[in-house]
Amino acid sequence: MLMQLTLSGASQGAIYALVALSLTVVYRSTTVVNFGHGDLVMSGAFVAYVLVVGLGLAFLPAAVIAVVAMFGLGVCFSRGLIRPIRGGPHIGFALMSIALGYTLRGIARTVWGREVLPMPRVFDIEPIFLGDVVLTGDALFTIATVAVLLGLFFAMLTFTDIGKMVQAVYQSERGARLVGINVSRFHDLSWGTGAALGAVGGILIAPVSFLHPDLGASFLIKGFAAMTLGGFGSLGGAVLGGVVLGLAEQYAGAYIDTALIDITAYLLIILVLLVRPRGLFGRKAVVKV
Amino acid sequence: MPDTLLTIRDLHVAYGPKPILRGAGFDVRRGECLTLLGANGSGKSTSMNAICGFVRPSAGSVSLEGTELAGRPAHAIFAQGVAQVSQARDLFPDLTVEDNLRLGAMRRGGRESGETLAHVYARFPRLAERRAQAARTLSGGEQQMVAIGRAMMSRPRLLLLDEPSGGLSPQFCEEIARIIDQLKADGVTLLMVEQNLNLAFRAADRFIVLRDGRVVDGGDVAAMAGDHDAIVRNIYL
Ligand SMILES: Nc1ncnc2c1ncn2[C@@H]1O[C@H](COP(=O)(O)OP(=O)(O)OP(=O)(O)O)[C@@H](O)[C@H]1O
Ligand SMILES: [Mg+2]
């Protein structure tokens, strides 16, 4: 029982980790909290859905195209709608991201109404039984994909010149400009990366749950909860927070009350903000939202 | 006529409605160290920032060997070989000394960056000893060395130094003066803001004075030797 819960919690948590990380990527580089992020996650899933169900593409190429498309959308959003309002009040960014989110959601609703769409399963392999634990292909695929992606992400951040430049911008934007980094373009690429990573989350969840235009809202909150748990603004914290949230939902749902699954995220946000505002892993506070 | 690297004409900079530079103009000659003097708030840092693209001039021209820089973005100006050591230093606090230095060469400096790094370490042996230490753990003087070293890593043609002695000891000022001599020997042209007149006159070839947003005075340092009082009166009164 515990093993089974841990497995499904980890697979759910992997998605949350990805969503929280992608939110943090945008937040750290631009200081913008992207309230439209859930809808980017949803859009990524829908683009993949259209390619698979509408055009008959295989899952993998469809997923890659969807991720690239969402990267492009993120870059265009930053370049076209965020850059022009950069001199203005900070709240403008939040409003702009909310407007983007609702626009995407509106488009999805116009096309699909409030239908709930099943995405074909990717790994329709026979579940593997290990004792009384059931390993589904989807869970394994999700956990493995996220693990590889996160491994690559953090390796790049730590060991490559590009990663050093990213850290440089995070630590001092003026310093980054002093060493010739094009900070505006960096912001655009961060939005692109955030949108692409979020889309991966949406695409991974699509085959195991149902697609609907309002899918994004719950992911946004899960992402915020994971970020709060990990210390708002910390990249590694977002990942750990996502996993902890995924596990907490499953344990609370099984051992206390199933109703708790849906509200664990909100409860954790409230609890952490009151008791440990810097997050579970206690990094130094990261400034302004 | 001396060979000019940077020509500034009729430069206007304002923060909102508040004008700071109002028609400043001067030349920086190739291979010299020119010191910009002026009272606090007279717009010295603003001039540096206007040259390297951190603030956008509202009018006027900044020309590097005929290439117009005014209005271009900071990274494009950096690519032309203009680097600044800013007054606040703006290091990357959690990165190591070595990473801070290497970052200076990532967008410019290219293939020789290994060589340049060795050169910087030779100039600043203290940094070589502390290469794996986070920049925030260094003393103020060491941090200034990192800031200067980081700027050197891009092999600039024009190096802007904003108050390199700020808050540092007299021995350190002497060290800065030696570094400036060496940079000049390497063919780097320098524009420096410096409140410490001893350093300013020890290291510089010429000086100019900024007041009310314009250049009001200037001359050869050698010719002014021993007459600091006159200059001080001109700057601060
Ligand atoms: N970003 C900014 N926004 C608004 N005003 C500014 C800004 N930067 C500088 N100023 C103002 O412009 C004026 C000139 O500032 P600047 O930093 O160029 O002076 P400075 O000559 O370098 O002075 P110091 O010797 O104290 O370093 C000051 O009155 C300052 O308050
Ligand atoms: Mg200044």
Which of A44-48, A161-165, A277-281 is least confident? A277-281
The model's pLDDT over B9-63, given as tens digits with 9 standing for 90+, comes to: 999 999 989 999 999 999 999 999 999 999 999 999 999 999 999 999 999 999 9
Burial group, residue A228, by CB count within 10 angstroms (0-12, 13-18, 19+): buried
What does the alpha-carbon distance between residue A39 and residue A43 come to, in Å, rounded to a whole number? Answer: 6
Q: What is the DSSP string of B197-237?
A: HHHHHHH-SEEEEEETTEEEEEEEHHHHTT-HHHHHHHHH-
The model's pLDDT over A198-235, given as tens digits with 9 standing for 90+, comes to: 999 999 988 888 888 988 999 999 999 999 999 999 99
Confidence of residue A240 (pLDDT cuts 50, 70, 90): very high
pLDDT value at residue B1: 53
pLDDT value at residue B126: 93
Residue with tokens 């819960």: A5
What does the alpha-carbon distance between residue B22 and residue B215 come to, in Å, rounded to a whole number? Answer: 9
Structure token digits, residue A52 = 């698979």
Confidence of residue A287 (pLDDT cuts 50, 70, 90): very low
A284 pLDDT more than 60: no
**At A123, which helix (H) or strand (E)?**
none
Distances, alpha carbon B224 to alpha carbons A112, B184, B190, B228, in Å = 81, 21, 20, 7
Residues of chain B positioned with their CB less than 8 A from the CB of A165: 103, 106
3-state DSSP assignment of residue B8: strand
B236 pLDDT more than 50: yes
- The 3 state secondary structure assigned to B138-193 is CCHHHHHHHHHHHHHCCCCCEEEEECCCCCCCHHHHHHHHHHHHHHHHCCCEEEEE
Instruction: State mean pLDDT over B209-222.
Output: 86
Domains of chain B in sequence order? 1-80+192-237 (3.40.50.300)
Cβ B120 vs Cβ B152: under 8 Å: yes
Cβ A194 vs Cβ A34: under 8 Å: yes
Residue B92 and residue A177: Cβ atoms within 8 Å?
Answer: no
Residue B75 and residue A165: Cβ atoms within 8 Å?
Answer: no
List of residues 6+ apart from B58 with CB closer than 8 A: B12, B13, B14
Choose among A187, A198, A153, A189: nearest CA to A38. Answer: A198
Confidence of residue B226 (pLDDT cuts 50, 70, 90): low
A108 pLDDT more than 50: yes
The model's pLDDT over B104-159, given as tens digits with 9 standing for 90+, comes to: 999 987 778 889 999 999 999 999 999 999 999 999 999 999 999 999 999 999 99
Instruction: State mean pLDDT over A132-143.
Output: 86
What does the alpha-carbon distance between residue A156 and residue A162 come to, in Å, rounded to a whole number? Answer: 7
Q: What is the mean pLDDT of chain A?
A: 91
B66 pLDDT more than 70: yes
Instruction: State mean pLDDT over B96-109.
Output: 93
Structure token digits, residue B13 = 């900079």
Task: Determine the residue of B13, B44, B235 to mutate for testing ligand 1's pocket, defined as the one with the most ligand atoms within 8 A of the Cβ atom.
Answer: B44
pLDDT value at residue B112: 82
Confidence of residue B198 (pLDDT cuts 50, 70, 90): confident
The model's pLDDT over A21-41, given as tens digits with 9 standing for 90+, comes to: 999 999 998 899 999 999 999
How far is the centre of ligand 2, averaged over its atoms, from the C-alpha of B211 (Å)?
Answer: 13
pLDDT value at residue A203: 93
CA-based end-to-end distance of chain B = 33
A288 pLDDT more than 50: no
3-state DSSP assignment of residue B26: strand
Burial group, residue B21, by CB count within 10 angstroms (0-12, 13-18, 19+): buried
Instruction: State mean pLDDT over B76-103.
Output: 96
What does the alpha-carbon distance between residue B201 and residue A278 come to, in Å, rounded to a whole number? Answer: 50
Residue A180 and residue B108: Cβ atoms within 8 Å?
Answer: yes
Query: How many C-beta atoms lie closer than 10 Å to residue A237's C-beta?
Result: 27
pLDDT value at residue A289: 36
CB of B167 closer than 6 A to ligand 1?
no
Chain-centre distance for alpha carbon A36: 11
What does the alpha-carbon distance between residue B3 and residue A273 come to, in Å, rounded to a whole number? Answer: 63
pLDDT value at residue A97: 95
pLDDT value at residue A121: 74
CB of B38 closer than 6 A to ligand 1?
yes
The model's pLDDT over A172-196, given as tens digits with 9 standing for 90+, comes to: 999 999 999 999 999 999 999 999 9
How far is the centre of ligand 2, averaged over its atoms, from the C-alpha of A178 (Å)?
Answer: 16
**At B61, which helix (H) or strand (E)?**
strand B59-64
pLDDT value at residue B225: 65
**Torsion angle of the four alpha carbons B211, B213, B215, B221, in this order, in degrees rounded to the nearest 10:** 50
Q: Which of B75, B83, B90 sits opposite A175 (nearest CB)?
A: B90
A286 pLDDT more than 60: no
Determine the atom of ligand 1 nearest the C-alpha atom of B55.
1
B224 pLDDT more than 80: no
Residues of chain A positioned with their CB less than 8 A from the CB of B154: 179-180
Confidence of residue A283 (pLDDT cuts 50, 70, 90): low
Domain residue extents for chain A: 2-216
Instruction: State mean pLDDT over A77-106.
Output: 94
**At A213, which helix (H) or strand (E)?**
none
Residues of chain B positioned with their CB less than 8 A from the CB of A168: 92, 95, 103
Choose among A225, A215, A236: nearest CA to A267. Answer: A225
Share of chain B above pLDDT 90, in %: 75
